[in-house]
Amino acid sequence: MKNLCYALLLIVGTFFSCSVEEIDNSKTNKSISSIDLNALDNAIQGRSTSYGVRCFNKPLIDVKGDRVGWLSFLVSDHEVSVTYRFSNEYSINETRLTIEAWSMQEVDYVNSDIPQPKDFPYATDHGEGADLKENLFTYTINKTTLGKYSRYAAFAEITDAKGQQKKIWAGAWASYMLADFSYCGTWPEEEVIRTVNDVEFFAPLSAETSGSYPYAGSHSETVTVTNDKPLSEGYVDIELKFTDLPLGFTKSTLSIDFLDLDLHPDIIQSGENMVDFHETFTLYDDKMKQIITLNDSYDRDGDFTWTYDLPNNLLMSDELTLYVRVTASLMLMEGSGITASNTIEHIKNITLSGDVIIK
């Protein structure tokens, strides 16, 4: 039994020795290597100060169009990380990057000019003859300087194992590219404000002088109301055209400052004669469909700021045309008659503000 145990121990020891020798011999086998598939992600992730979402990659190409690496984008809460990653045979001499907010209205003009690396705001000289292991480099950009859509160009100069230098671009040679970050992480909604010019006008007091501004409402007029004709009314239509509205513009608010809009009746007396003067304000869409009217039931009068949330179905293109109608009414209340003239009024600080929502 002792001999059997001793023999078994020898056999086990022999197998163990062979196993160790096989593992040691594998170190000299140059045809097989082990890689960590998460190493790149960890390296890129480690350069961000907060958790990020890997967004997309663009090939890094030489002048022949051959791919020598990747440009990777990672979006975190407050930053966008842009990482150059080259094959192991290359080292980085210099990197140049430009990236800026862009709009979908400008998408056709992304590559309208030629990028000049010497003018790029993000630039690093890594030094010639750098360690061949230096093939990964990251720029971290403050998210507030970018947008859900951004334009970028990425350039680099690298050295291969033979000491030959190559110029490298991301995506396409010497070109600007569009970065779509709308599905990468969270982005704050962007508030957009559009304005139209202030308008000075006279609210017409008769049907004969009524119409569209500036053909109507550009000058003062005088009317007379009598017992035979106690009422005189007129109106002026003013166009408000907002242009260059971005794609995804929604939740819009119209704001107007009124100066001397007499929604509540003004009683004017001259001797034994008395008249009632008041105005109404009506907002229309581009087809002259009524949206809202302000009259004597509204709680403001004279000089005030009015805001109104427009329905989203009005925002169907990059332009929005609205019409405002100011109607003036003069009615004889007592006496035999009175002659009156209208005075200048103003609508100012006319703005359309809202959020841009992408997807």
| Tens-place pLDDT, residues 189-217 | 667 889 999 999 999 999 999 999 999 99
Q: Among residues 119, 149, 180, which one ends one of the domains? A: 180
pLDDT at 63 over 50: yes
Residue 143 lies in a domain: yes
**Which pLDDT value is given to residue 356?**
67
Q: Decide: 284 and 290 in contact? Cβ < 8 Å.
A: yes
**Which pLDDT value is given to residue 189?**
66
Q: Which domain holds residue 280?
A: 190-356
Q: Are residues 206 and 343 in the same domain?
A: yes
Residue 69 lies in a domain: yes
pLDDT at 50 over 50: no
Residue 134 has phi, psi (to 5 degrees) of -85, 80
Q: Are residues 169 and 264 in the same domain?
A: no
Q: Are residues 100 and 158 in the same domain?
A: yes
Give the confidence band of 186 by pLDDT, cuts at 50, 70, 90: confident
**Which pLDDT value is given to residue 318?**
85
Q: Are residues 226 and 318 in the same domain?
A: yes
CA distance 121 to 74: 19
For residue range 132-180, what is the model confidence (pLDDT) as tens digits? 457 899 999 988 888 888 999 999 999 988 889 999 999 999 999 999 8
**DSSP-derived 3-state class of residue 19:** helix
CA angle 3, 8, 9 (to 5 degrees): 95
CA distance 98 to 151: 8
Element (H, E) at 14: helix 2-26
Residues in Cβ contact with 176 at an 8 Å cutoff, skipping those fewer than 6 apart: 110, 111, 112, 113, 115, 151, 152, 153
- What's the number of domains the chain is made of? 2
pLDDT at 89 over 50: yes
Residue whose tokens read 């939740």: 251
